[in-house]
Structure 1
Amino acid sequence: MEPTQPSPPPQQPEGGPQQGGWPAPGPYTSPGMPYATGPYGGPAGGPGPFPYGQPPRRTTNGLAIGSLVSGIVCCLPPLGLVLGLIALPQIKKREQDGKGMAITGIVLSALSCLLLVVGLATGGIGSAWGDFKEGVDEASRTKSPFSLRTGQCFSDDGKLEEYATDVTIVDCARPHDGEVSGGFKVTGFDKWPGDDAIDKIAVKRCETINAAYAMDTWAVPNDVWLYYYLPSRESWRGGDRTVTCAFASKKNPFSGSVRSDAAKLTADQEQFLNAVNPIETVVYQEPEEDPDEDFAANKAWSAQLLAAINGARTGLDQHYWPGASTAPVAALGKQLDTASKQWAKLAAAPDADAYWEAYDTAWDALPENLGAEARTALGLTGTLPAGEGTSA
């Protein structure tokens, strides 16, 4: 089908109105609508840019919005003031909306700037900021005992109760109730095993963890002991299986870290402590019953201590001790040789009476300070905590 040409519009009477009273359509009008004027069009300039004689939709100035937001939140008062002052001439020039926003932003920002100046002059800003930081710091330092990490020192407002709900982390240089040495998860139980079962596991495991954490035992105050936080029946139901091990004092807060593990020690220090520490460990394991009451237990214990003494002799002999530590370590080795002979007699005692006869001589032969001069020369703690000693 071929295209058809549109029919020409009917001619209107010259100079007269259409029937119905509307003027004839022209290049700048449409029936029923007034003539549109604008900055780019008019009777002499041809059609304007506005279709059908309607002006374009006005936009909102972005800087005015930014000024208002900055003025409300008061985070950067000068920014809101600057944005508002720039926005006003742009709004006028571009015929945009947002004048009210810009003015409001300018006023709010100006007030914020004034308050900022007054605060700085009076110190109020610094005080408020200090309080804010203190609150944030306090919140960040208050934690559950089971969220503590190795090496953190803490204060327990419950004075180390069995089931503490929260503790406060503090700088180890400040007085504190405890220091975390490590932790472990309880395994091997399908249901809640009871406090006693977990307690037995905790004692054994935490003793090992604490011994590795504080190898320089003389640096641990005499009233600081093994401590641990256990899961409760309620926390166990929620999936908690963590035992947190620590050094702690229920009587007097202590200052300074007791940490002296392999990561903190030199190779010489570590070798020395690995050699002599087992002697201290076995000394504290002496049976409570006398040889008359439990001869077998005392005989077995004396054999263990003899093994620890001989192990220390071997550990010291196998290492080269540099500088100022050479002579005192050698002197300690000779003392341990003498002690070994006497403890061998004690361990070989055939009965309780013979055991008592060799007992005091064996203790007298064991060096009370276990090498204080050697410790000092190696940069370790050279003084026993008050009230401590290896002799009976």
Structure 2
Amino acid sequence: MEPTQPPQPSEPGASAVPPAPAAYPVSGPYAAPGPYTSPGMPYVAAPGPYGPYGAPRATTNGLAVGSLVSGIVCCLPPLGLVLGVFALRQIKKRGQNGKGLAIAGTALSTISTLLVVLGLITGQIQEGVRAFRDGMREAAAVRMPTELRTGECFLDDSEQGEYTLGVRVVDCAEPHNGEITGRFEVTGFDAWPGEKKLQQLGEERCETMAGTYALDTWSLGPDAWTLHYFPDRRAWREGEHRIACGIGGEERTRGSLRSDATTLTTDQMAFLTHVNPIEDAVYEEPEDDPEDDIEANRAWAADVRAAIDSARVGLRGRAWEKSAQAPVGTYLASLDSASKQWGKLAGAADADAFWAEYDRAWELLPEEGSKDVRKALDLTSTPPPADGEKGSA
């Protein structure tokens, strides 16, 4: 048996603490008391005032958002002002977010409302509305020439020979520089035929359409010419195979140039239909003088005489209105003389004989008689400026 070690003496002044009985554990320092919970519930370290789940999250007021949006877009300024006032009341009552939005919307709407009132007083709003309406009208009026109907007038700001992205349709009473005489479909080509071919087709067909659209040729100004619009390669691939024809010029004019069955009387139509072929034949005079090509000049003179004779027959076979009977009779007498003279020109043996009859043939073309008939029929009675004539050698 080993000897037991005697107990160590304690520090001076310290009393000996008897050991606790083995059955009871020694207790440590007491923890700070925490919040009490109901019996059987888990301990809550930091409960909120409304229980373990905390307070519900505050929402943003919808009227405040609406007020700000209305104030920004400036569509309905008074609406944004009203929404802002109601939003501030609801936010204060319900404890919602969005006070800054409501204040900003109210301020912007107030400024917009003042601007609207000022614009109404000064007329700026009306001017802006008119400008917007005119802009929308102009935008809606821009169309491709091939989409226009016969008789519609338009403004084309593109230069001659340039690609046209669109023309602006206007009333024919307003200034314009073009008028649609018709359009036609290009057929017989599986692929794009090229600009040169389309331009050739446009010149040929559009010249004919212009002749039937504006029968009163004296009403055309000196700078009026035939127009044609054809599709480019891309438009052709997209299915646009039409060519639009028109009459126009560099200068803007007012009023329609249309003079056909839709605008003319039967007597006006009859006179122009018989007389215009004479003008067409005269304008086909060869560029070469008789010394260079006598046969071409003879053939031209024969064509002019044939047109004159056709007019003589057609005009004599019609019963004219009383006011036009005397002028038509005088005009027919002039045509009879002109027919004989142009017959001599067509039968000239050589260039010298041709020149001998040339000036007299031109003198007998009854322009003065035509002027009197036109005046009686209420057609344009002022002839267009004459092109330079060859004159005798």
Please say whether Structure 1 and Structure 2 have the same fold, judged by a TM-score greater than 0.5. Answer: yes
Task: Output the CA distance in 2 between the equivalents of 1:276 and 1:334.
Answer: 14
Task: Output the CA distance in 2 between the equivalents of 1:391 and 1:265.
Answer: 35
Task: Output the CA distance in 2 between the equivalents of 1:165 and 1:321.
Answer: 48
Spell out the pairing of 1:291-302 with structure 2 (5 A cutoff): 291-302=290-301
Name the residue aligned to 1:278. 277
Name the residue aligned to 2:202. 202
State the AA in 2 paired with 1:172.
Answer: C
Spell out the pairing of 1:105-144 with structure 2 (5 A cutoff): 117-144=117-144
Q: What is the deviation of 1:147?
A: 2.9
Task: Output the CA distance in 2 between the equivalents of 1:214 and 1:112.
Answer: 56
Does residue 1:253 correspond to 2:254, yes or no? no
Name the residue aligned to 1:220. 220
Task: Output the CA distance in 2 between the equivalents of 1:74 and 1:156.
Answer: 36
Task: Output the CA distance in 1 between the equivalents of 2:318 and 2:388.
Answer: 26
Task: Output the CA distance in 2 between the equivalents of 1:175 and 1:358.
Answer: 46
Which SS does the other structure have where 1:319 is aligned?
A: coil
Q: Deviations over 1:118-166 (max 9, x none)?
A: 43223132022012112102212323333333232323233x2242222
Q: Deviations over 1:225-262 (max 9, x none)?
A: 1121222233222222121111122xx41312211121
Task: Output the CA distance in 2 between the equivalents of 1:332 and 1:389.
Answer: 24
Q: What is the deviation of 1:117?
A: 4.5
Question: Does the aligned pair in 1 maintain the 2:182–2:244 contact within 8 Å?
Answer: yes
Which SS does the other structure have where 1:204 is aligned?
A: helix
Question: Does the aligned pair in 2 maintain the 1:183–1:243 contact within 8 Å?
Answer: yes
Question: Does the aligned pair in 2 maintain the 1:369–1:390 contact within 8 Å?
Answer: no
State the AA in 1 paired with 2:136.
Answer: V
Q: Which moved more, 1:366-375 or 1:111-120?
A: 111-120
1:301–1:370 distance in 2 versus 1, CA, 3 Å:
farther
State the AA in 2 paired with 1:244.
Answer: A
Which SS does the other structure have where 1:177 is aligned?
A: strand
Q: Which has the larger radius of gyration?
A: 2
Question: Does the aligned pair in 2 maintain the 1:328–1:373 contact within 8 Å?
Answer: yes
Name the residue aligned to 1:229. 229
Which SS does the other structure have where 2:252 is aligned?
A: coil
State the AA in 2 paired with 1:152.
Answer: C
Which SS does the other structure have where 2:223 is aligned?
A: coil
Task: Output the CA distance in 2 between the equivalents of 1:202 and 1:289.
Answer: 27
State the AA in 2 paired with 1:262.
Answer: A
Spell out the pairing of 1:50-69 with structure 2 (5 A cutoff): none
Name the residue aligned to 1:173. 173
Task: Output the CA distance in 1 between the equivalents of 2:268 and 2:389.
Answer: 20
Q: What is the deviation of 1:331?
A: 0.7
State the AA in 2 paired with 1:254.
Answer: R
Name the residue aligned to 1:190. 190
Task: Output the CA distance in 1 between the equivalents of 2:388 and 2:350.
Answer: 28
1:387–1:304 distance in 2 versus 1, CA, 3 Å:
closer
1:388–1:268 distance in 2 versus 1, CA, 3 Å:
farther
1:229–1:190 distance in 2 versus 1, CA, 3 Å:
same
Spell out the pairing of 1:329-344 with structure 2 (5 A cutoff): 329-344=328-343
Task: Output the CA distance in 2 between the equivalents of 1:389 and 1:171.
Answer: 35
Aligned residue pairs: how many? 325
Q: What is the deviation of 1:377?
A: 1.2
Name the residue aligned to 1:316. 315
Q: What is the deviation of 1:306?
A: 0.9
Instruction: Tell me the TM-score normalised to structure 1 length.
Output: 0.68
Name the residue aligned to 2:289. 290
Question: Does the aligned pair in 1 maintain the 2:146–2:183 contact within 8 Å?
Answer: no
Which SS does the other structure have where 1:275 is aligned?
A: helix
Task: Output the CA distance in 2 between the equivalents of 1:108 and 1:126.
Answer: 22
State the AA in 1 paired with 2:280.
Answer: T
Task: Output the CA distance in 2 between the equivalents of 1:193 and 1:386.
Answer: 38
Task: Output the CA distance in 2 between the equivalents of 1:370 and 1:230.
Answer: 41
Q: What is the deviation of 1:218?
A: 0.5
Q: What is the deviation of 1:115?
A: 6.3
Does residue 1:305 correspond to 2:291, yes or no? no
Name the residue aligned to 1:157. 158
Name the residue aligned to 2:344. 345
State the AA in 1 paired with 2:333.
Answer: K
CA RMSD of aligned residues (A): 4.0
Q: What is the deviation of 1:186?
A: 1.1
Name the residue aligned to 2:357. 358
Question: Does the aligned pair in 2 maintain the 1:170–1:176 contact within 8 Å?
Answer: yes
State the AA in 1 paired with 2:252.
Answer: F
Q: What is the deviation of 1:113?
A: 7.5
Task: Output the CA distance in 1 between the equivalents of 2:149 and 2:269.
Answer: 23
State the AA in 1 paired with 2:261.
Answer: A
1:313–1:81 distance in 2 versus 1, CA, 3 Å:
farther
1:298–1:258 distance in 2 versus 1, CA, 3 Å:
same
Question: Does the aligned pair in 1 maintain the 2:327–2:369 contact within 8 Å?
Answer: no
Q: Deviations over 1:200-240 (max 9, x none)?
A: 22222111100011111010001111121222233222222
Spell out the pairing of 1:66-77 with structure 2 (5 A cutoff): none
